[in-house]
Amino acid sequence: MSYFADVILPLPLGKYFTYSIPEGLFPSIKTGSRVIVQFGAKKYYTAVVRNIHCNTPEYETKNILEVLDPRPIIRPRQLEFWEWIANYYMCSVGDVYKAALPSGLKPESETMLQLNSECCIDEINDFTLKEKSIIDFLTNEQEASIATIEKSGIKNVMSSIKSLLERNIIAIKEELRRKYQPKTQLCIKLSFERGNEDRIRECFEDLKRAKLQLKLFVTFLEMSGFNRPGNETVVNRKALLERANISNAVLLALINKGIFVQYKQEISRLDGGKQKVEKVHELNPAQRKAYNEIIDSFCNKGVTLLHGVTSSGKTEIYIHLIKHAIEEGKQALFLVPEIALTTQLANRLARVFGNKLGVYHSKFTDNERVDIWNSLLKDNGIQVVLGVRSSLFLPFKNLGLIIVDEEHETSYKQQDPAPRYNARNAAMILAASFGAKTLLGSATPSIESYFNAKTNKFGFVELLSRHGDILLPKIEIADTRELRRKKIMKSGDISPRLAEASKSVLDMGGQVILFRNRRGFAPIVECQTCGWVPKCKHCDVSMTYHKHLNQLTCHYCGYTYEIPSKCPACGYPTIEVKGFGTEHIEEEALSAFKDYPVARMDLDTTRSRKAYEEIISDFEEGKTSILIGTQMITKGLDFERVGVVGILGADSLLNMPDFRAHERAFQMMEQVAGRAGRKGRQGHVIVQTSQAEHPIINQLINHDYKGMFNSQLIERQDFSYPPYTRLIYIYIKGRNEEVVQKASRWYADLLRQSFGQRVLGPDKPVIGRVQSMYIRKIVIKFENNASPQKVREIISTAEENFYAQNGFKNLILYYDADPM
């Protein structure tokens, strides 16, 4: 019987592809194994086996060329989770596959070929001319990509390559197959069975006259604990030489005598930093109560929301819950919205969970991520994972608990590329598939989650006092409109009140955080004569000025150029920098607080993991006194000595063109305020705004989350926004604006035939062109009780129709379900 495998390719394709399984490969192919297949004329890909069957397809199938994993590296439950994401977020499973696996596990570069070292070419004579040329080429070049081979003048090589591959003459290069390099160490062991005392005695006899060799032999026996039972008789080579203080030549002699054997042992990168495990903190009475309520709530609700004010000890409660899950033999996943948060938390968790903890995010190297992946495939590997949204895809075996910390955070939602999933919501689905529980935690829950809690869809637990009964920070307003009118303050300055408050805290040995939700030195550069503003060539946005680099950068496509010395529109040398971002505040802080070291944390200063860790640990240790940053510093960080937090540019937060702008402004400001006064004294927050009477500002002063929730909820209901409806945004992109406009009208009309007034648009989005692509947006708003599955089916039929239209084929059409 012939067998076939349906595989998932790392491509945005709507379906699975079927390949035949050559007999020799059959025993080693499993659902969830990676295989190498050819797709299209020239390319090889690493695909994932979805299922194996014997239904011969109607079309001719290609062979699976290689199996990379005799043991699957993806569990069936994960594959189902991929499919759920692809379906709900309206993308291909291939998109999900690309997001799910660390790149070390999915080589998809131009395939490199090499001669198979195990095969002897001379013995085989029946090569075609073309095959001979390919063999010659590879003999000379050692390795080459298929493209290079074709470029050398050998045309239409695919079938020859296939035949050579199948006859095992050439191979896909090992590096492609195993991009991941396990970490190894050189070890020494005895060449004979431990416990063979006769042999040991012989050795001693043998080495009697070779003093150094004898010394090394004895040192080995000591280190390997040879005569103590239960010890491995293996010793690290370097450690052995160091301990014995003897040269490598002596060791070689012992190896040559056949006493020692040297070999490579794979070691895990994970237990490199062996932590001393500490006991967890006792929960205080309020935390204990909340903990018990959560455990109770877990009994009858899949998802529970913990609304705990900043510094109430949510993290302590999480730690207890994780411990509980582990004691029941389950795994736990602790999700955080940003890498910035993992640094501090990793230390806090490692102190409790030691090497049962794995940390997973993109700033780790591929090898480190693959190590975590592999550890989860083992039976007694990692039990707790701390990670960002992509850690949902790790091969968990028996998940018992997912914690989604700072659940309101928008960074849980992936924007680009697909899958545009919300990790908070996907976490609930994943947890449910394991029968596990999800805990959402936040000091400022999203309106959606709080609404779900209030309407009993989720369990609900509150913790409204800070640990140590410290008061929530005092919030003061600096009315910038007033200050400007009186000419006390120019645009973008640190107000006198903020400067004064900061100074006094700094002088007492405290620290200051200044928050400005915009990076760059000055977002707006303008000609003072004619009003010309530098724009990106490829996008509909103004350029952002970066002082350190002295250049203008587009934050959408990365295009950069220098500020022109003369205005390209009017010719006058009057181009000036206006407004302010983090870089500008840094400069101002440096001159206002001369004696105190300043650090800045934003996308530009945290390109590497080291950079994050350094900025945070320097501030923790008091090496820096003032921390300036974007929304990166608003969340979750736990510093002890922050006395003052300054919020600059609250106006820009309040004025965002988005139905969630006010909710977000409150969350961000309340969160950053929460960094003040976490230990010891009440903190002090100064908000600079020209809208001092804004309801959100008032709610912030009173730390009135519920007031904010209630007033926002009324607006959401009035305008039919979530949580009363669900949204799907549809984007259509293309290089020709007219075609894009025509196609999006056509598509909106088609959708209206099914959804009627629920379809809005098409509209030109705020940024109507990015990277030379014109964009139109259609919005579908449907009732909560509409079936998401039905909606998706209708859209998917409409989409087939769309691409069947003349001239629409080259347009890009994609969806954003539950946009944030």
Which residues lie near Zn ion (CB under 5 A)? 527, 529-530, 532, 536, 538-539, 554, 556-557, 559, 567, 569-570
The partner residues of 236 in beta bridges, in order of sequence, read: 187
> Considering the rule CB under 6 A, would residue 676 count as an interface residue with ligand ADP?
no
Q: What is the DSSP string of 641-705?
A: -EEEEEEE-HHHHHT-SSTTHHHHHHHHHHHHHTTSS-SSSPPEEEEEES-TT-HHHHHHHTT-H
Amino acid at 644: V
Number of residues in the chain:
820
Shortest distance (Å) from residue 348 CB to ligand ADP: 7
Please tell me the distance from the alpha carbon of residue 675 to that of residue 643, in angstroms, as a whole number.
9
First to last CA, the chain: 51
Please tell me the distance from the alpha carbon of residue 19 to that of residue 66, in angstroms, as a whole number.
12
> Considering the rule CB under 6 A, would residue 316 count as an interface residue with ligand ADP?
yes
User: Which tokens go with 478?
Assistant: 């600096």
Q: Based on CB atoms, which residue is closest to ligand ADP, 190 or 345?
A: 345
* Among the listed residues 526, 528, 571, 529, the one whose alpha carbon sits nearest the alpha carbon of residue 552: 526
> Considering the rule CB under 6 A, would residue 411 count as an interface residue with ligand ADP?
no
Q: What is each CA distance from 791 to 729, 794, 798, 800, in whole angstroms? A: 13, 5, 11, 15
Binding at 190: pick from Zn ion, ligand ADP, none (beta carbon under 5-8 Å per type): none
Please tell me the distance from the alpha carbon of residue 298 to that of residue 290, in angstroms, as a whole number.
12
Shortest distance (Å) from residue 629 CB to ligand ADP: 18
Binding mask 651-670 for ligand ADP (x = CB under 6 A): --------------------
Binding at 131: pick from ligand ADP, Zn ion, none (beta carbon under 5-8 Å per type): none
Among 72, 94, 104, 308, binds ligand ADP (CB under 6 A): 308
Among 389, 467, 662, 703, binds ligand ADP (CB under 6 A): 467
> What's the sign of the alpha-carbon dihedral 760, 763, 766, 769?
positive
Binding mask 624-653 for ligand ADP (x = CB under 6 A): --------------x---------------
Among 678, 684, 703, 777, binds ligand ADP (CB under 6 A): 678
Stretch that binds ligand ADP, among 309-317, 522-530, 625-633, 794-802 (CB under 6 A): 309-317
Shortest distance (Å) from residue 310 CB to ligand ADP: 5
* Among the listed residues 305, 310, 309, 335, the one whose alpha carbon sits nearest the alpha carbon of residue 322: 335
Q: Based on CB atoms, which residue is closest to Zn ion, 204 or 561?
A: 561
Q: Based on CB atoms, which residue is closest to ligand ADP, 319 or 539?
A: 319
Count of positions on this chain that bind ligand ADP (CB under 6 A)? 16
> Considering the rule CB under 6 A, would residue 342 count as an interface residue with ligand ADP?
no
> Considering the rule CB under 6 A, would residue 281 count as an interface residue with ligand ADP?
yes
| Main-chain dihedrals φ then ψ at residue 524, nearest 5 degrees | -120, 125
- Interface positions, 204-263, toward ligand ADP (CB under 6 A): none
Tokens 């001393």 found at: 276
Q: Based on CB atoms, which residue is closest to Zn ion, 252 or 766?
A: 766
* Among the listed residues 84, 36, 81, the one whose alpha carbon sits nearest the alpha carbon of residue 62: 36
Please tell me the distance from the alpha carbon of residue 97 to that of residue 100, in angstroms, as a whole number.
5
Binding at 556: pick from ligand ADP, Zn ion, none (beta carbon under 5-8 Å per type): Zn ion
Describe the strand order of the beta sheet including 260-267 as a list of residue ranges.
Answer: 234-236, 183-190, 260-267
Shortest distance (Å) from residue 409 CB to ligand ADP: 14
SS3 state of residue 512: strand
Q: Based on CB atoms, which residue is closest to ligand ADP, 206 or 462?
A: 462
Binding at 530: pick from ligand ADP, Zn ion, none (beta carbon under 5-8 Å per type): Zn ion
According to DSSP, residue 103 is labeled G
Among 18, 297, 312, 502, binds ligand ADP (CB under 6 A): 312
Shortest distance (Å) from residue 773 CB to Zn ion: 11
Q: Based on CB atoms, which residue is closest to ligand ADP, 207 or 340?
A: 340
Cis geometry, peptide bond prior to residue 723 (ω within 30 degrees of 0): yes
* Among the listed residues 515, 519, 521, the one whose alpha carbon sits nearest the alpha carbon of residue 688: 515
Stretch that binds ligand ADP, among 312-320, 505-513, 717-725, 802-810 (CB under 6 A): 312-320
Q: What is each CA distance from 77 to 95, 395, 739, 799, in whole angstroms? A: 18, 9, 42, 29
> Considering the rule CB under 6 A, would residue 283 count as an interface residue with ligand ADP?
yes
Q: Based on CB atoms, which residue is closest to Zn ion, 478 or 527?
A: 527
Shortest distance (Å) from residue 534 CB to Zn ion: 11
Shortest distance (Å) from residue 513 CB to ligand ADP: 15
Asked if 100 and 390 count as a contact pair (C-beta separation under 8 A), the reply is yes
User: Which tokens go with 223?
Assistant: 């280190």
> Considering the rule CB under 6 A, would residue 287 count as an interface residue with ligand ADP?
yes
> Considering the rule CB under 6 A, would residue 762 count as an interface residue with ligand ADP?
no
Please tell me the distance from the alpha carbon of residue 595 to that of residue 103, in angstroms, as a whole number.
45
Shortest distance (Å) from residue 350 CB to ligand ADP: 14
Q: Based on CB atoms, which residue is closest to ligand ADP, 503 or 679?
A: 679
Q: Based on CB atoms, which residue is closest to ligand ADP, 313 or 400?
A: 313
Among 213, 224, 310, 422, binds ligand ADP (CB under 6 A): 310
Q: Based on CB atoms, which residue is closest to Zn ion, 4 or 532?
A: 532
Amino acid at 311: S
List residues binding ligand ADP (CB under 6 A).
281-284, 287, 308, 310-316, 467, 638, 678
